[in-house]
């Protein structure tokens, strides 16, 4: 999809559709909406008076052949209360508009940013919104409607002093939006099309394309490094594991600057192992590699945005299968760090592979860590599919991430990490055990387990189990993978 800045008056534009938004207030007809109302002979005012045009969030009102305009259609999208409007809302407004128009045979449209909001952030939000909303999860369908597509979008309203900001926002939004869709495409792949080896090949191709350093560790190198926790998960599968290492180094690294370590869980299919999952819904366990996909997407975006800090991405990739060689409940494994682990439940495998991934990221020089994982069903019980669970060992580092989440418009919620929870994973026959002994707090104890391997290094764990996948389509996003946390991490790293 081509995205450009349109500096001409919207009155002169003859595209398939013109889109703008209005707010939920006593009189929504003001500013640009008042101008459009005048051009259309008071039509918008009459619609507002009748109650058809209210400005409620994502309410869509389509006017065909609007008088006074050359465009074939005028689409008005509700943006909610003006006091609650932010770039995240604008992103959803733009995304909902694209998905609505795409189903109606529109191929080109103009999105007019409202007066007072002509900023770089607004242009970026619109760009991210339309790119993310244009992603479909129908890659393997043979009966796709190939005539339903958006060819081009123009963002209008920017001119003069705002033009440079608009162009910069579009460029940044494209980097982020395309990278989010790259991650979503990986997550959407079925496990027979995305084994650990294939994921490594795709990551290597991406890194090479954008100019990042990449190294793929095969099963022999993994064994040489004594990554016993990762190997224990992999041993039940005929598919060998991989560890993907992608590194971004700034052209002029600052002395004493942090080195960010991003670690993503990539279980390309999770049966639960010997502690096998119920069959109902197991097909979705292809997305148990969403944390790893997110981190690879972040690296893709950073290659273009060029932050001033070094970033090391480590993605341990494996299947978790119940084969004849699979680890069993009660087995004791030795992680790369030397810490011993009693495996009470083989379905708590994500924390095992993250243990070795985090330790390796520290060995490579990471001074600040963030991991992302579809780790626990318990976080879904706690936060549903609304918020990402955030667990941190360092308050200042955690506060930075939460500030970036707010700026990026991604809902995240801090969870407790009190030392009392450490007792829940204290091992009876090894240093630690991989689940608690029936005491509850499953998401917290999962995070406490991972923290053991971060040690004193500032560390954040993002449990994205409830937010990495949409079971139902949203007005602004297709059913399926979301690419959650990518925008937050890109904002965090580029703001350092």
**Active-site annotation holder among 148, 277, 406, 474:** 277
Whether 300 is a known active-site residue: answer no
Whether 422 is a known active-site residue: answer no
Give the residue carrying structure tokens 């009102």. 61
Contacts of 217 (CB under 8 A, 6+ apart): 225, 242, 243, 244, 245
Rounded to 5 degrees, what are φ and ψ at 88? -65, -40
| d(C-alpha 270, C-alpha 202), whole Å | 20
Give the residue carrying structure tokens 């010997």. 274
**Active-site annotation holder among 265, 351, 362, 400:** 351
With H, G, I as helix, E, B as strand and everything else as coil, classify residue 11: helix
Of 409, 481, 412, nearest to 173 by C-alpha is 409
Contacts of 102 (CB under 8 A, 6+ apart): 134, 148, 149, 150
Of 66, 35, 468, nearest to 291 by C-alpha is 468
Q: How many helices (H) and strands (E) does the chain have?
A: 14, 20
Contacts of 190 (CB under 8 A, 6+ apart): 140, 286
CB 312 within 8 A of CB 298: no
With H, G, I as helix, E, B as strand and everything else as coil, classify residue 101: helix
CB 496 within 8 A of CB 302: no
Per DSSP, the residues of 384-452 read: TTT-EEEEES-HHHHHHHHHHHHHHT--EEE----GGGGGGGB-SSSSEESS-SS-S-HHHHHHHHHHH
Pairing of strands 213-217, 242-248: antiparallel
| d(C-alpha 82, C-alpha 25), whole Å | 8
Active site residues: 277, 351
């Amino acid at each position: 999809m081509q995205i450009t800045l349109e500096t001409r008056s919207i009155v002169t534009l003859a595209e398939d559709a013109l889109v703008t938004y209005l707010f939920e207030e006593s009189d929504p007809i003001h500013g640009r909406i008042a101008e459009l109302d005048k051009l259309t002979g008071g039509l918008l005012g009459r619609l507002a008076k009748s109650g058809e045009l209210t400005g409620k969030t994502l309410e869509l009102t389509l006017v065909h052949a609007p008088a006074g305009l050359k465009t074939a259609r005028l689409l008005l999208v509700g943006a909610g209360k003006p006091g609650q409007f932010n770039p995240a809302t604008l992103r959803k407004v733009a995304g909902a508009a694209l998905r609505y128009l795409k189903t109606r045979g529109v191929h080109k449209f103009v999105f007019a940013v409202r007066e007072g909001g002509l900023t770089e952030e607004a242009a970026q939000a619109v760009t991210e919104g339309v790119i993310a909303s244009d992603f479909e999860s129908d890659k393997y369908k043979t009966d796709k409607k190939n005539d339903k597509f958006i060819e081009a979008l123009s963002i209008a309203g920017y001119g003069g002093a705002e033009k440079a900001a608009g162009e910069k926002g579009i460029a940044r939004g494209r980097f982020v939006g395309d990278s989010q869709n790259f991650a979503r495409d990986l997550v959407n792949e079925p496990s027979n099309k995305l084994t650990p080896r294939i994921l490594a090949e795709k990551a290597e191709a991406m890194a090479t394309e954008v100019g990042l350093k990449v190294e793929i560790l095969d099963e022999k190198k993994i064994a040489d490094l004594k990554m016993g926790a990762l190997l224990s998960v992999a041993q039940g599968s005929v598919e060998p594991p991989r560890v993907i290492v992608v590194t971004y180094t700034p052209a002029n690294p600052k002395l004493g600057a942090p080195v960010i370590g991003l670690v993503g869980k990539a279980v390309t299919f999770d049966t639960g192992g010997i502690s096998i999952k119920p069959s109902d819904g197991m097909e979705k366990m292809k997305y148990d590699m969403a944390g790893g996909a997110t981190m690879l997407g972040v690296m893709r975006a950073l290659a273009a945005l060029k932050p001033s800090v070094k970033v090391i991405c480590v993605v341990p990739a494996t299947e978790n299968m119940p084969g004849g060689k699979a680890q069993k409940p009660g087995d004791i494994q030795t992680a790369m760090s030397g810490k011993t682990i009693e495996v009470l439940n083989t379905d708590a495998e994500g924390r095992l592979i993250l243990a070795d991934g985090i330790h390796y990221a520290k060995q490579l020089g990471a001074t600040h860590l963030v991991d992302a994982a579809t780790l626990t069903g318990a976080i879904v019980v706690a936060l549903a599919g609304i918020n990402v669970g955030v667990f941190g060992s360092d308050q200042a580092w955690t506060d930075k991430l939460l500030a970036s989440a707010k700026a990026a418009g991604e809902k995240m919620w801090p969870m407790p990490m009190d030392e009392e929870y450490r007792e829940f994973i204290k091992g009876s026959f090894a240093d630690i055990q991989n689940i608690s002994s029936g005491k509850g707090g499953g998401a917290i104890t999962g995070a406490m387990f991972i923290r053991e391997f971060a040690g004193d290094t500032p560390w954040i764990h993002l449990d994205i189990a409830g937010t990495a996948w949409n079971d139902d389509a949203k007005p602004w996003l297709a059913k399926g993978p979301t690419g959650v946390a990518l925008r937050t991490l890109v904002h965090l790293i580029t703001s350092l």
